Structure 1
Amino acid sequence: MTLKQFGFILAISVTVLSLSNCKDETKPIKQTEILFKREGELTITKADDSKVVLDIEIADTDFDIQTGLMYRNSMEKKQGMLFVFDDVSERYFYMKNTKIPLDLIYINENKTIVSFQKNAKPFDETSLPSNAPAKYVLEVNAGLVNLWKLSVGDSIDYSEI
């Protein structure tokens, strides 16, 4: 093999290897769907003693609290996510990377509802404050606070499974 042939083969090899490492930018990355995992049951007791019962996921670790319902495609009517904090403080949530509209229910340390943020818009990074100290936050599908006729002063109780 001559030096010229060797150079040609080397150039072709480098080109083929370079091209094989290029990503096809037209191919979308498929995200794994995050499915609901039942971790407990929550009961909302209204002033008239009627009840609403939900299956819940519990967000009580830093990762779960930071991620919440981000990247979810849907949630059933009788499902929700309960955020459990170590302290009682005014809470500020937002809808970054959240695909579904939500109602946020802020709950104090006595498990009494203190405020709502209704119909939070997907992907909106506007702050959604509790406007009162809260230890828990319950996220449900948008419109359910009105459908269930929940009020400040209603209470919750929950159990883990």
Structure 2
Amino acid sequence: MRHSARNFGFARLVSALLALFLCLSLPAFAQEKFDIQPLTIVTKDGKSHAFAVELAVTPRQREQGLMNRQEMADDKGMLFAFGETRQVFMWMKNTYIPLDMLFIGKDGKVRAIKENAEPLSEAIIDSQGPIDYVLELTGGTVKRLGIRSGNRVQNELIDSLRKAK
């Protein structure tokens, strides 16, 4: 009887420690929620390409980005809004899918593009100048749709902030 009581006490201790660990770790595992808006890229030849994008506008949303995602549909993406014009540095840490990154000015024009950013890489991806937004799309989208610097990105968030400035 004494032996089983000791095992029961040990099991309770382990359970309590596990519960405490999970409670303390929940904020680290909590996923941010993102609003979704339609976004259109208009190429110089007049073609329009529609996407539904998640908006990363808070520091926590921008920090999480597309990390830990295993897939993303070709007509989806994430739009990062920084609230100011500045040079931006991105990376692919904990991001499992290749991404095309479009660096966008406050006027909605694509300033620079990084195609097929390598999954899980911690290499720094530079915006190559001051921008206001980064649009992340599934790797290969830029090439498939013929997206280039100078193309216009239309979206409610971009349009409303451009008019407010």
Q: Sort the TM-score into its range (normalised by shorter chain).
A: 0.7 to 0.9
What is the one-letter code of the residue matched to 1:51?
Answer: S
Distance 1:142 1:15 in 2: 53
What's the counterpart of residue 101 of structure 1?
98
Further displaced range: 69-78 or 36-45: 36-45
Q: 2:5 aligns with which of 8, 13, 22?
A: 13
- Which residue pairs with 2:78 in the alignment? 81
Structure 2 SS opposite 1:57: strand
Post-superposition offset of 1:132: 1.6
How many Å separate the matches in 2 of 1:110 and 1:37?
23
Shift of 1:37: 6.2
Partner of 2:161: none
Q: Measure how far apart 1:85 and its partner are.
A: 1.1
Task: Using the TM superposition, give the Cα deviation of residue 159 of structure 1 relative to its aligned residue in structure 2, in angstroms.
Answer: 2.3
Looking at CA atoms only, which structure, 1 or 2, has the larger radius of gyration?
1
Aligned length: 142
| 1:129 lines up with 2:121 in the alignment | no
Partners of 1:132 and 1:21 lie apart in 2 by: 55
| Alignment RMSD | 2.1
Cα distance in structure 2, aligned partners of 1:12 and 1:118? 61
Query: 1:77-127 CA distances to partner (integer Å, 9 max, x unpaired)?
Result: 000100111111111000111111111110011110000111111111110
Moved beyond 6 Å, runs of 4+: none
Give the counterpart of 1:43 among 40, 44, 48. 40
Unaligned runs of 5+ in 1: 1-7, 24-31
Deviation at 1:13, TM superposition (A): 1.9
Judge conservation of contact 1:93–1:128 (CA < 8 Å) in 2. Answer: yes
Give the Å deviation of 1:20. 5.0
Deviations 1:3-37 (A, max 9, x none): xxxxx72x5423332145447xxxxxxxx9x7x96
Q: Which is richer in helix?
A: 2
> Secondary structure of the equivalent of 1:146?
helix
**Residue aligning to 2:57:** 60
CA distance in 2, matches of 1:60, 1:38: 9
- List per-residue Cα deviations over 1:131-159 (Å, max 9, x = no partner): 02110000000011111111110010112
**TM-score normalised according to structure 1 size:** 0.80
- Distance of 1:37 and 1:128 partners within structure 2: 23
TM-score, normalised via structure 2 length: 0.79
Contact 1:82 1:138 in 2 (8 A): yes
1:59 counterpart letter in structure 2: A
**% identical aligned pairs:** 27
Contact 2:92/2:122, CA 8 A, preserved across alignment: yes
Counterpart secondary structure, 2:156: strand
Q: Structure 2: which amino acid aligns with 1:82?
A: L
